[in-house]
């Protein structure tokens, strides 16, 4: 992805070239149509103002998209520079670029194949000066945003009103995704409400601080681009004129701001806006690809109506349905179809394949999250000893917290793995420190990163000194960074003043050299600031690891420069700000991939494990109270299932550790939706029904499926359904009354006989530690363990 970022103007001049659109040139070459099924072929060939490709999972949409682009170029209907393709991740962008390249060679360079965010950054940098930003703006990540809002809340004393950084930032983000700005939001808000009033003021503060810091947050990147286009029609017109073919992948996950951006870009170009135009131009041709069954980003503002209403929205739109799946076995697809069929408000679509049933889905129920993880590890050993590569295997989970047990067991089993996303490299404190040095250099207006490093390593610049500097800056209307430079004018101790002067000189030295090699800048900053020395001298073994991480970052910057000759500091910072979790995937890694179900979208693996298929986890507890929540959770499960090519494993546990507590877990309702004959249960899920006291709370209200986890402790059998194991439910167990003490002999349904070593915990959470004669030591939650006293 060497040329994805930066300010290079490569290809932009070609806007001035005459458009090759007109009477169609040559026919699309046959090699671009080879091996395509009829709807795929049509999706490649169709020409018109708007095209919707409804692409079921694994139906070859990337192939269709790349061939469509290649076709446009090969027939000379478009120059590369007239193509804008929006993908969901940088990795997908790089892949698409490569594939188009391999189809038609050199002619492919000059296209914009980018994510929404990266395309918008590029536009904003180019036009920054036009609307009052400096080109060197930096991007605040969610951590930065929280830190800033936290400070603002404190300053206003708004915390007493119950406003939290997380809450406020989520609300601002949501509003920006809906394309509101402070003023438009204010007009719709009820300002009688003091909470809304306080929020509004915070938002105003926040935007002002961002602007002062010459920074944007993630959501700004999209919405500000839209505002820019609306405020400056002649700027918008340039891009409209340039991009004649716009293609958007994962369209089901676009939000209002992204939709508006697409709308803006596909408007006709008029001579009123661009006087040197010979005649008005129609809007760009728009192709969107998506699958409403895979819409899983509502929490980020994704609006499923963008895709469901597409044909009504864009005049002359044509829709093409791709249902043949080239990825998975029929068993996996049947399970996926059955599950998603339970979402009622969808356009019917059934995936099929002609490649055979394949292996049955494997199901497993562990006694604990650890036990479940052990199953995953055992199966991976089994699969790899059968010749499968580690890199063809993935383990999915709903929440990042589930990685702990998995990692522990994988390490013990010596299985190489990589956690994709989660606690990211760039979130480590020492990496953030190092990055803050770089940001301070690149964007001197930003006080946030300066504050972070001002006293790291220790220079004796404490809160009091910082406050004095800030006061001086406010008094003179200058930035904090400028105040550093004028430290002589502030009454401070000679030692502190000298330290500040040194720091200011170091930062200024590199700020004056914006085109320097980022790796060199970083290395010098870390060494001359004393940062590396401090870590090196520390007796703390953790600091040795931190030092390694920082050195790793230096290596990353060096590698960046190697891949992007001439790439400057701003380019590097932009790239790192916009990396997505899925970008971390490295096929050559030879490692099992661990990731959330969300991160898994768009990927595929020979063998897939979906873990924690339990109520309250999948579907997640919080989704129960959200409109459309349970349906979205089902789509998430569907996305997970359809990632698998050959083997699918579904696992759950009977107890789940959470917040350091162990709680009983209930099998997910989604399991019941899979036809029983598709699943080979190694260990059947048992239905543990909640105690009467819990019955009324937290029950799901998603259609008629309540029976499965009903709160009634009714001794009658559960209503029989087509359920997977409704008719094979083992005994309803409740050992609450069972009293165990060390020395007791017990018998366990699966582990055989053993002796109780210790009992801990109280009430429903009592745990017995048992030495079993055959299988060794186990911890059991007494309430639900299948045991009897001998």
Please provide residue 692's backbone torsions phi and psi, each rounded to the nearest 5 degrees: -55, -35
Residue closer to DNA by CB (options 465, 668) is 465
**Radius of gyration for the chain, computed over Cα atoms and rounded to the nearest angstrom:** 29
Residue closer to DNA by CB (options 1, 595) is 595
The DSSP code sequence of 417-443 is: EEE-SSS-GGGSHHHHHHHHHHHHHH-
Residue closer to DNA by CB (options 12, 299) is 299
Residue closer to DNA by CB (options 174, 305) is 174
- Cα separation, 163 vs 288, in Å, equals 39
Q: Is 55 annotated as a binding residue?
A: yes
Q: Is 588 exposed, middle or buried (0-12, 13-18, 19+ CB in 10 A)?
A: exposed
Number of C-beta neighbours around residue 708 at 10 A: 24
Q: Which residues pair with 285 in a beta bridge?
A: 245
Chain contacts with DNA (rule: CB under 7 A):
89, 115-117, 142, 150, 166, 173, 218-219, 296-297, 299-300, 398-401, 421-422, 455, 458-465, 496, 578, 580-582, 595-596, 598-599, 620-623, 626, 629, 632-633, 658-660
**Least CB distance from residue 102 to DNA, whole Å?**
25
Q: Is 14 annotated as a binding residue?
A: no
Residues whose CB falls within 8 Å of the CB of residue 745, separated by 6 or more in sequence, listed in order? 753, 754, 755, 756, 789, 790
**Least CB distance from residue 146 to DNA, whole Å?**
8
Return the beta strands (E) in 622-751 as ranges. Answer: 644-653, 655-658, 661-664, 679-681, 745-748
**Least CB distance from residue 94 to DNA, whole Å?**
14
Q: Which residue carries 């009634």 as its tokens?
A: 712
Residue closer to DNA by CB (options 174, 360) is 174
Q: Is 56 annotated as a binding residue?
A: yes
**Least CB distance from residue 30 to DNA, whole Å?**
37
**Least CB distance from residue 464 to DNA, whole Å?**
3
- Whether residue 293 contacts residue 338, with contact meaning beta carbons closer than 8 Å, is answered with no
Residue closer to DNA by CB (options 106, 659) is 659
Joined together, the tokens standing for residue 457 give 């390593």
Joined together, the tokens standing for residue 342 give 């339970």
**Least CB distance from residue 77 to DNA, whole Å?**
29
CA 156, 134, 236, 172: dihedral to nearest 10 degrees?
-20
**Least CB distance from residue 513 to DNA, whole Å?**
29
Please provide residue 663's backbone torsions phi and psi, each rounded to the nearest 5 degrees: -125, 150
Report angle CA 57, 388, 606 to the nearest 5 degrees: 5
Q: Is 493 annotated as a binding residue?
A: no
b/e per residue, 161-190, with b = 16+ CB within 10 A? eebebeebbebbbebbbbbbebeebeeebe
Q: Is 58 annotated as a binding residue?
A: yes
* End-to-end alpha carbon distance in the chain: 66
**Least CB distance from residue 310 to DNA, whole Å?**
22
Closest to 88 in 3D by CA, of 564, 600, 589 = 600
Residue closer to DNA by CB (options 358, 369) is 369
Q: Is 170 annotated as a binding residue?
A: no
State CA 532 to chain mean position distance. Answer: 32
DSSP state of 667: B
Q: Is 726 annotated as a binding residue?
A: no
Active site residues: 61-62, 249-250, 294, 643
Residue closer to DNA by CB (options 232, 426) is 426
| C-alpha separations of 161 from 168, 169, 205, 356, 445 in Å | 12, 16, 17, 61, 31
| Contacts of range 700-709, beta carbons closer than 8 Å, 24 or more positions apart | 700/615, 700/619, 700/624, 700/630, 700/669, 701/624, 702/619, 702/624, 702/630, 702/631, 702/669, 703/342, 703/344, 705/342, 705/669, 705/672, 708/669, 708/672, 709/615, 709/666, 709/669
Binding residues: 55-62
Binding residues for ATP: 55-62
């Amino acid at each position: 992805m060497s040329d994805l970022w930066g300010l290079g103007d490569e290809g932009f001049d070609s806007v001035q070239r005459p458009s090759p659109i007109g009477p169609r040139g040559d026919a699309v070459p046959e090699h671009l149509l080879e091996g395509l099924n009829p709807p795929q072929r049509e999706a490649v060939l169709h020409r018109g103002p708007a095209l919707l490709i409804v692409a079921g999972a694994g139906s070859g949409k990337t192939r269709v998209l790349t061939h469509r682009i290649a076709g446009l170029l090969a027939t000379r209907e478009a120059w590369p520079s007239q193509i804008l393709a929006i993908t969901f991740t940088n990795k997908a962008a790089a892949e698409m670029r490569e594939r188009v390249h391999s189809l038609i060679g050199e002619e492919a360079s000059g296209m914009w194949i980018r994510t929404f965010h990266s395309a918008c950054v590029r536009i904003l940098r180019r036009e920054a000066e036009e609307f009052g930003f400096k080109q060197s703006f930096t991007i605040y990540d969610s951590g930065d945003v929280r830190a800033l809002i936290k400070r603002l809340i404190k300053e206003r004393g708004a915390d007493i009103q119950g406003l939290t950084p997380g809450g406020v930032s989520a609300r601002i983000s949501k509003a920006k995704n809906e394309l509101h700005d402070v003023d438009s939001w204010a007009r719709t808000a009820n300002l009688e409400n003091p909470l809304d009033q306080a929020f509004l003021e915070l938002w105003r503060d926040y935007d002002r601080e961002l602007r002062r810091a010459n920074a944007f947050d993630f959501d700004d990147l999209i919405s500000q681009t839209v505002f820019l286009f609306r405020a400056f029609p002649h700027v918008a017109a340039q891009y409209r004129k340039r991009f004649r073919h716009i293609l958007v992948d994962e369209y089901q996950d676009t939000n209002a701001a992204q939709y508006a951006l697409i709308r803006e870009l596909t408007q006709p170009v008029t001579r009123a806006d661009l006087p040197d135009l010979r005649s008005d131009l129609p809007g760009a041709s728009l192709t969107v690809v998506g699958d409403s069954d895979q819409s899983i980003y509502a929490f980020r503002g994704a609006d499923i109506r963008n895709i469901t209403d597409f044909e009504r929205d864009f005049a002359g739109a044509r829709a093409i349905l791709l249902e043949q799946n080239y990825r998975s076995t029929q068993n996996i697809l049947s399970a996926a179809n059955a599950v998603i069929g339970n979402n009622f408000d969808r356009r019917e679509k059934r995936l099929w394949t002609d490649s055979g049933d394949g292996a049955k889905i494997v199901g497993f129920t562990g006694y604990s999250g650890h036990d479940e993880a052990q199953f995953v590890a055992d199966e991976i050993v089994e699969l790899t000893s059968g010749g499968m590569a580690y890199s063809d295997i993935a383990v999915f989970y709903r929440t990042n917290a589930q990685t702990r047990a998995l990692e522990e067991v994988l390490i013990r089993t010596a299985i190489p793995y990589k956690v994709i996303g989660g606690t990211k490299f760039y979130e480590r404190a020492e990496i953030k420190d190092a990055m803050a040095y770089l940001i301070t250099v690149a964007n001197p207006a930003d006080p946030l990163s300066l504050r972070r490093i001002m006293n790291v390593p220790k220079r004796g610049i404490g809160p009091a000194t910082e406050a004095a500097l800030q006061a001086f800056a406010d008094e003179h209307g200058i930035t904090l960074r400028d105040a550093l430079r004028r430290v002589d004018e502030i009454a401070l101790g000679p030692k502190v003043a000298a330290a500040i002067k040194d720091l200011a000189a170091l930062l200024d030295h590199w700020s004056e050299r914006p085109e320097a090699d980022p790796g060199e800048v970083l290395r010098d900053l870390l060494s001359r600031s004393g940062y590396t020395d401090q870590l090196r001298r520390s007796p703390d073994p953790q600091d040795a690891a931190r030092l390694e991480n920082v050195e790793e970052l230096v290596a990353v910057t060096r590698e960046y420069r190697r891949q992007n000759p001439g790439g400057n500091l701003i380019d590097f910072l932009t790239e790192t700000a916009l990396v997505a979790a899925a970008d971390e995937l490295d096929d050559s890694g030879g490692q099992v991939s661990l990731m959330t179900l969300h991160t898994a979208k768009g990927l595929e693996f020979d063998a897939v494990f979906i873990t924690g298929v339990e109520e309250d986890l999948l579907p997640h507890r919080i989704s129960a109270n959200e409109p459309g929540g349970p349906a979205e959770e089902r789509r998430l499960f569907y996305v997970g299932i359809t990632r698998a090519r050959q083997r699918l494993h579904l696992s759950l546990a009977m107890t789940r550790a959470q917040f350091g507590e162990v709680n009983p877990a209930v099998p997910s309702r989604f399991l019941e939706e899979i036809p029983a004959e598709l699943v080979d249960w190694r260990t059947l899920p048992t239905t543990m029904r909640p105690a009467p006291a819990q019955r009324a709370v937290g029950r799901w209200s998603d259609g008629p499926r309540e029976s499965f986890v009903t709160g009634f402790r009714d001794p009658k059998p559960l209503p029989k359904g087509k359920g997977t194991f409704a008719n094979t439910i083992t005994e309803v167990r409740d050992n609450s009354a069972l009293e165990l003490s060390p020395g007791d002999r017990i018998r366990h349904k699966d582990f055989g006989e053993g002796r109780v070593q210790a009992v801990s915990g109280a009430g429903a959470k009592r745990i017995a530690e048992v030495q079993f004669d055959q299988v060794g030591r186990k911890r059991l939650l007494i309430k639900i363990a299948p045991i009897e006293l001998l």
